Structures are given as structure tokens and as C-alpha cells.
Structure 1
Amino acid sequence: MRIAVCQNKGGSGKSAMVVNLAAALAEAGELVDVADVDPQGNASRRLAARPAADQMTISEAIKCDALGAARDAYVPCGWGGVYSERIRVLPARFELENRISEAGTVGAVKRLKRALAGCDDRRITLLDCPPSLGHLTQLAMVAADVVLIVAEPEFDGIEGAVRVLNFVRDHADDLNNPRLRVAGVVPSRVRSGLGVHDFQIAGLDECFPGLVWAPHIRERAVVKAAADSVAPLRSLRTAPAREVAEDFDKLAAQVRKLMEVAA
């Protein structure tokens, strides 16, 4: 199953969602691929999967426009242990920006799907999309089975999430992926006791009926600490790190249920 993790606003915690969800799934015994479709390459860096200068990346795999072109571009997660055994990364460099200029080329939006063909069978693939609905995100949506939206509970974050939801509903056919759907909306970077967050959380079910996942991912310093130290949350060995990791375990269980339904 391929899951495009999306938001039309930056700073929503989207890459943190991808990285920590991948870790939780790997801890649960799943094989996970992370396809970094964001030229910033944050997911690649946080998973310690920075490619060598002469190494193929997702950009070159897309450019090849060939079935299975991504096969030789994967690198293992650099965290060691079960993470390196179970998580592979299709890494990105800033050169991925070059693919945007191909948006007007006939059929270019299908190139990532072609590149992944036959490469990620029997795995969960999380596609970390840039904070836009442009060509790179559309590449991911064409390749994906479902979309997972990450939404910071503030006006701009909710608006960005609504734009993603509407885009999928209005343009799945245009992307030649008519079965594409939004599987869930995960509130992230939630701060307890902050009035604007409490207000937006209270209205989420009305904005996204039947789509809001729990638990909500709280804004905790340990998430940033793990990202900065290029390490999994559980390696920090603190109570807050364990609490957030357990929240991601529960989200991972929902992803596994999606797989069971799709099977």
C-alpha cells in the first residue's frame, strides 16, 4: 500500500509524521519504504539516508521514465537495528526541484508510479510530499493508493488540509487515479490548553466527517530533538519520548488496518 502524506501548508509536521510513523511500523514488524518527494529532503536526512554525491536518487528515478527505475536508488535507514533492516528510503536531494519543469510534458505525472513499479511489493510505502499541490505532489498522488493529511490545528493548517481534501475529490480522475481517496486527517503539533488549538480541534469532525484519526500528535520538544539528532524517538529514553512514540504506535495500527481492508 502506498500512502501519500500531504498538506498544502509548510511547517505542519508532515515529515515528522512520515519518519515517526515509519519507525512505529518497523517496530511492529512491517517492511516500510519512505519515498522522499520533497526537495528539502528532510525525511531522508532524519532517517540518516543521505545519498552519496554520485548515487541515484528519486529525482533520477523519475527522470528515467521507466518501469522499476527506482530499484537501484533505495538506501537503508541509517539508524541501525530493526530500523535499518525494515526501513528503506528513496532519498531526495534539492535537484528534485528540476522535475517540476517537466510538469507540462505529456505523461510526466505518471513517472513516479512507473519508477516504483515492482519495487515496493509487499511493503508499506510512505510518500513524503512537499507542502504544495503542484507537480511533485501530483506525482505522489498518481502513485498512491490513499492520501493521509497532516493538519496543524490553526486556521492556515486547516485551510491547507481542506485544499488537499478538495483537490483529491475534484481531480483524482484527472490524475488517472480515480480510486484515490483521503484515508484520514491527523492533527499534529497540538498544544494542550492553547485556545486556538482547542477551538480548531473541536470543529475538526465537522470539517472532515469520519476522517479524523486519533490520537492527535502533541507538540513536544522530543520530536524536534529526535529529528535534530537523526535518531528514533525511542532512543531518547525519556518519558515524553515514550509517550509520543506510543501515539505513533496507535497511528501505525490504523495504517495496518487500512492494509487489511485493501488486501
Structure 2
Amino acid sequence: MARRMALVNNKGGVGKTTTAVRLAEGLAKAGHRVLVVDMDPQGNASRRLGWAYDADDPQPTVSEAIQADRDGSLASVITPIGWDVEYASRIVLAPARLELENRMAEAGVVGSWRRLVKALDGVDDQIDYTLMDCPPSLFHLTQLALAAAEVVVIVTEPEYDSVEAAIRVRDFVRERASELANPDLEIAGVIVNAMQNLGSHADQLASIRETFGGLVWDPVVRHRSLLVDADGDEIPLTEVRGEKAGEVRAAYELLAQTTVKAVPVR
């Protein structure tokens, strides 16, 4: 059975989706089988992995799997990704589109926060890592992922608001996990993105390390425009060219190694 990881922050724009996609890539390059579950109605992880919705041949998405409220319903949603590289065969996707927003209206339905747990039942037994890319909130869609996860990885950037949002995630997990019938849920790590050579960033990184201690994973990912371009072009880092391309690829490959050490495959 997969190690299920929810990637979370209570603030948008911190690089959470980039981390989900590139961590999946790094794990796959290392030989691991990865399922990416896109829990964000924006569907950015789905797009960046090369998936596109076809209105003429509608594909089921995470929204339909959750709505089904049935054991194993996510199996009918999972699809290969669109990258044309060898290791892409080790990544599969449960895609999302804006329609996932409709599931928010079900938050008050008894047991609705357990629907992703049920949808995943038996589906990722042959997967090493299930990465759930959550929206920038702590409400229903994120709670679905937290109920299904074994561990949380907080993704942040060295900015004051982002760090405060990361602390809110930590506190929510500590105080509310039992209410999601997941009392053993824990923070496995904190990934810091978009580091620049700024005094304010150095100060905030020091604050992150003081607040989260040994949970902060290395390496810290530096801000690189070519990473933004790769996300926009929906391509794997293997296809990126540029002076800093090797550095960016190495950062996520090392983070994949850190993931395996912190959350080892059973």
C-alpha cells in the first residue's frame, strides 16, 4: 500500500503544486511508482502533468470519484500522464477540474470527509507514494486529503504570510486530526521554495528552522525562472535546458531522497 502524503499550505502561491509535480518526478526517476491525486479545483497539477479535459470525450475526475461515495471509486479516474519520458510510466494521475469545487457544498453531509478514504480503498495498493496536492485552504477539500493521508508535508516559501500559513497547518493537524478519524496523522516535513538572495528571505528561513526544527527538509529550493517556464510548458525537468537546469533537477532528486528517508516505502 502506498505511503499517502498530503501537500498542504493555507496560502496560495507558495509552490505547493510545483512541489507535488516535481517531487513525483523525482520519485519516479528513482524508480518509485507514484500516484498524484489533484485535490485543487484549479487543476494545475493535472495540466502540468500533461492532462487536458476533452469535452467531446469527457473523462471522469476526482470530483466524480468523491461524489460516488464508494470503495475504490478512484480506480476509474486514474490515467497515465502526458509526458514523453521513460520514467513517466511510473506516474499516474487522478485529475481535477473546476467541477471539483462542487464537492465543497457537501461538507455538511454526514461522513462526507471520509469519501476520499473510501475512493482510494484498494486503488493504490501497488503504488509506492500517493501525493495529494491540496488547495490553499484548510476546508473541506483539504480535509478530505488529510483524512486519507498518513503524513502531511507542509510547503512554504520564506515570506512572512507563507510561514504564518504553514504554522496554521501545523496547528490544525495537531488539534483537528482526531476529528477526521485520523489521530495518527503527523507532519513529516517542511519544504521551503523560492529562496532568493534577500535578507528578508534569510531571516524567514531562520524563522522556519526555529519553528519547525528538524522537520525542515533539505535542500531548500531556490527561485529559478526556468522552473516556472517548465511548469507553464507542461514538461518534465529532463527536457529543461539552461545554465541552472542541472541545479533544479538535482534539488528535486535530492528532495525525493529526503522523502524516502522520512517516509520510507513499506
Structure 1 length-normalised TM: 0.97
Alpha-carbon shift at residue 196 of structure 1 (Å): 0.9
Residue of 126, 145, 149 corresponding to 2:154: 149
Aligned to 2:248, what secondary structure does the other structure show?
Answer: helix
For 2:170, the equivalent position in structure 1 comes to 165
Report whether the alignment pairs 1:202 with 2:206: yes
Q: How big is each residue's C-alpha offset from its partner over 1:144-180, in whole Å with a ceiling of 9 and x where there is no partner?
A: 1100001111110000000000000001100100110
Amino acid at match of 2:112: A
For 1:9, the equivalent position in structure 2 comes to 11
Report whether the alignment pairs 1:138 with 2:140: no
Alpha-carbon shift at residue 77 of structure 1 (Å): 1.1
Alpha-carbon shift at residue 114 of structure 1 (Å): 0.5
Within-5 A mapping of 1:95-114: 95-114=99-118
CA distance in structure 1 between the partners assigned to 2:167 and 2:178 by the alignment? 18
Amino acid at match of 2:83: W
Alpha-carbon shift at residue 209 of structure 1 (Å): 2.1
Percent identity, aligned pairs only?
48
Structure 2 length-normalised TM: 0.96
Q: How big is each residue's C-alpha offset from its partner over 1:52-99, in whole Å with a ceiling of 9 and x where there is no partner?
A: 331100000000000000101111110022243111010000000000
Aligned to 1:172, what secondary structure does the other structure show?
Answer: helix
Aligned to 1:174, what secondary structure does the other structure show?
Answer: helix
Ranges of 4+ aligned residues in structure 1 off by more than 3 Å: none
Residue of 214, 231, 243 corresponding to 2:247: 243
Amino acid at match of 2:195: V
Amino acid at match of 1:8: N
Report whether the alignment pairs 1:90 with 2:94: yes
Check the 8 A contact 1:51/1:57 in 2, yes or no: no
CA distance in structure 2 between the partners assigned to 1:258 and 1:187 by the alignment? 16
Q: How big is each residue's C-alpha offset from its partner over 1:6-46, in whole Å with a ceiling of 9 and x where there is no partner?
A: 00001000000001111111111111100000000000000
Bigger drift between 76-85 and 33-42 goes to 76-85
Structure 2 unaligned spans of 5+: none
CA distance in structure 1 between the partners assigned to 2:262 and 2:207 by the alignment? 25
Name the count of aligned residue pairs: 261
Aligned to 2:244, what secondary structure does the other structure show?
Answer: helix
Alpha-carbon shift at residue 257 of structure 1 (Å): 1.8
